[in-house]
Structure 1
Amino acid sequence: MVLLHVVDLDPRLTALRALGGFFALRAGEDADRHLPTLAQAYGPAGPDVHQADPLTVRVRRVAAALRTREARVAASVAHQGLAARLWSVALGCAALHDSVPDLAPDTVRWDPEGSAPDDLWLAEVRPLPGDAATVAAVVLHGHLEPLSAALRARHRVAPALLRGNAASALAASAREIARHARPEAAARAARLSGELLAHPLLAGAGGRTATGFRRRSCCLYYRVPGGGVCGDCCFVRPPRSSPRAPSA
């Protein structure tokens, strides 16, 4: 039955591009075979300090762009950027087509030195059902768990902060779909995102409010030179006295 979604899903995922840059996925196009897969990015750091692994390259790239010397701040922002890309692709496909592409980490290529939003390539589109359980398996278990583990192994990033990033990125993806998609697709995205925010890996990371979503942790963006608090931050204004943001 899943094969019936092949035509609907669109082998090049062109419909996603209308939702914005975070939803675009290069599918069916030749990727540079020298680029790493996301599976390689989630792997352990290499022993050669002169040849950084892909995830370390990305964190350094983000740190330079933000002009911050705090690696954990850059790690948090890099994590949220990649989470937003993965949620957007999966939730966008589920909302528009009621199916999602198989985003197995060893099939998605990624340019860690590219600019935001992260550029992703998927050589072949293999459709899966568009229910919340499948989206959770594809994004939460397939990517965000190993990505968070890799970042925690390299940097002092609190697990609750990373859960907040994941929940915030999911809520933002649903919000963008509501802005740009047809009402039925927006309603499907809202329903799926609500189910996903109740998942054990995200439960407690934040909640719906009258104006949208508010997380219970801070992504540390206020520590970036010239930065401030995000719209869904647990802080109303940037902290002044505490040198570190709360982890929950």
Structure 2
Amino acid sequence: MNLRELASVGPFFALRTDDDPGGAGEEYLPLAARTEEAVRRRVATVADRLGTADRRVAASVAYQGIAGRLLSVALGSAVLTGRVPDLADGRLRWHPARPAPDDLWLPAPAALPPAADLADQVRDHVLAGPLTTLHATTRAVVPVSSRLLWGNAASSLAGSLRVLHAWCRERHRPEEAARALALTRALLDAPPLSGTGTLTAPAPGGPAFARTTCCLYYRVLPGGMCGDCVLRHAPRAAR
């Protein structure tokens, strides 16, 4: 499966596909495995980068980052190629300490069988696959809300849509831009992402998303909030 064009959309849409990235293949771990130690390492790395001792914030942001990577790859591939990459157990690996695009490694990428409903395929093989496993592992390591994490996944998906939609429009590919919007709507309208937010039709600035949950990032940036935050004002304690 050729993912070269997908990588041109942006770093979140790219992943390593070489035989052994940097000669350090042993450092990459199966993402689908319940590797609690790897999640602890990732949470610690994110906490250090954010400059926070709040492990719930770090766990939230860490999960959102990986969700954004997986959903960007799945959404982008489905829109641009009509196929979804096989991210099954044992195929996709990650490096907890590396940033995108070097955090994910998929040697010899292959596509899942053709499907009439790509949203169902992304839901079954990504949301209900590695993201559900990572969801459970994250909550086993840090006591963070399940609904918050799925809200993070939905926010990440909407962010991926905005980047991909803009990329398609800039290249005069309106059919693919429309396909990206339709696929994202379908994913947001069904479990586990249903009820996590509202996606509005494209505006001059592109699709917009408003969450029904909070990722807790305001605790790192006092008085600041994400663009799709459910909060109308930062909580008084954060100010």
Q: Same fold (TM over 0.5)?
A: yes
Ranges in structure 1 where 5+ consecutive residues have no aligned partner: 1-8, 46-52, 244-248
Pairing 1:26–2:22 present: no
Which of 150, 153, 157 is the equivalent residue of 2:140? 153
Q: Secondary structure at the match of 2:97?
A: coil
Q: How many residues align?
A: 224
Over 3 Å counting, the alpha-carbon distance change for 1:115 and 1:155 in structure 2 is same
Pairing 1:75–2:59 present: yes
Alpha-carbon distance in 2 for matches of 1:227, 1:102: 41
* Alpha-carbon RMSD: 1.9
Which of 32, 42, 46 is the equivalent residue of 1:39? 32
Indicate if the aligned counterparts of 1:29 and 1:121 stay in contact, CA closer than 8 A.
Answer: no
**Cα deviation code 1:20-55 (max 9, x no counterpart):** 110001224423321212123x33x3xxxxxxx111
Which of 60, 68, 82 is the equivalent residue of 1:98? 82
Alpha-carbon distance in 1 for matches of 2:14, 2:100: 12
Which of 80, 89, 92 is the equivalent residue of 2:73? 89
- Name the residue aligned to 2:193: 202
Q: CA deviation at 1:116?
A: 4.8
Indicate if the aligned counterparts of 2:14 and 2:101 stay in contact, CA closer than 8 A.
Answer: no
Indicate if the aligned counterparts of 1:38 and 1:105 stay in contact, CA closer than 8 A.
Answer: yes
Ranges in structure 2 where 5+ consecutive residues have no aligned partner: none
Instruction: Provide runs of 4+ in structure 1 moved above 6 Å.
Output: none
With the length of structure 1 as denominator, give the TM-score of the two structures. Answer: 0.84
Q: Secondary structure at the match of 1:101?
A: coil
Indicate if the aligned counterparts of 1:58 and 1:112 stay in contact, CA closer than 8 A.
Answer: yes
With the length of structure 2 as denominator, give the TM-score of the two structures. Answer: 0.87
